[in-house]
Every structure is written in structure tokens, then in C-alpha cells.
Amino acid sequence: MRTQYVGLDISTEMFSQTAARLEGNPQALFLQGSVEKVPLPDNSVDAVICIGVIEYLPQNVTALAEIHRILKKPGLAIVSFPSLRFPMLFVRAILRPILGPVLRTVIPGCAARLRVWN
Ligand SMILES: C[S@@+](CC[C@H](N)C(=O)[O-])C[C@H]1O[C@@H](n2cnc3c(N)ncnc32)[C@H](O)[C@@H]1O
């Protein structure tokens, strides 16, 4: 049996781009939705990888409960979020407000990315 991969993103732009890239791949399915209400049944996946998403949520309990709900038991969850020692936190908090407007002027495509992830 071939491994099946399911991806999920709440953003219409990210969903469209990724779904287009994966079109025609029989092993991959990309859905639009929230990690706080995952459109998958209970105990349906072997592993979840959730990288760089939790920190955008107002609270993380619902998302973590959803990840637990869809995981087979035992299952594997890899969830990342920045710690205070993570250098990108400094970049995001201090440098982005300064660099953001400059980058938006110089690189037009950058504006959309900064908006989606803010
Ligand atoms: C920093 S990017 C990380 C993307 C990818 N996980 C990676 O590591 O490259 C954060 C992504 O989380 C998505 N996102 C934000 N809130 C979400 C939610 N509630 N459910 C699903 N995706 C969400 C954003 O649309 C964005 O594409």
C-alpha cells in the first residue's frame, strides 16, 4: 500500500498554490480548512506534522485536541512553535515592522506573503 499524504491550510492563496502544485499526484490530497476543525475522521492518520502554524492561533488547545482526535493511537505528532530563544522571533517582532514596508516596495510579491502570515 502506498503512503497517502493529506495537507491542510486555512489560507485561500496557500491552498490554491499548493493544490495546483500537487494536482495529479495520487498520493497527495490538499484541503482548505483550519487545524482547529480538521476535515478528517477520528483516528484516521498515522502521523501529523504541524510546523509554524500553532503560533498564529489565539490559543492552541483546540488545535492540539484536533491533532489528537485524528491521530491513530499510538500515533506520531510533530508540532513546532517558536521559543523565546528562536532567532526568528526577534526578526518577526523587531525587524519585520521596519523591513516589511521596504520589502513591500522593492519586491511586490513579498506583500502578499507578509499579509498572509501576519
Ligand atoms: C509560517 S507558514 C508555515 C507553512 C508550513 N507549515 C511550513 O513550515 O513551511 C504558516 C501557515 O499556517 C497557515 N495557517 C494559519 N492559521 C491556520 C489554521 N488555523 N489552520 C491551518 N493553517 C493555518 C497559514 O495560512 C500559513 O500558510
CATH architecture type of domain 5-80: 3-Layer(aba) Sandwich (3.40)
The DSSP code for 55 is G
Q: Which amino acid residue places its CA nearest to atom 11 of ligand 1?
A: 53
Q: Where are the domains of the chain?
A: 5-80, 87-117
Per-residue pLDDT of the chain (118 residues; tens, 9 = 90+): 788 999 999 999 999 999 999 999 999 999 999 999 999 999 999 999 999 999 899 999 999 999 999 999 999 999 998 777 777 777 777 777 887 788 778 876 665 554 444 3
Question: 36 vs 48, 64, 67, 68, 117, CA distance in Å?
Answer: 14, 8, 8, 11, 17
Which residues have any ligand 1 atom within 6 Å of their CB? 8-11, 14, 34-36, 51-53, 56-57, 116-117
What distance in angstroms lies between residue 37's CA and the mean position of ligand 1's atoms?
A: 14
**Which atom of ligand 1 sits closest to the CA of residue 8?**
21
What distance in angstroms lies between residue 78's CA and the mean position of ligand 1's atoms?
A: 14
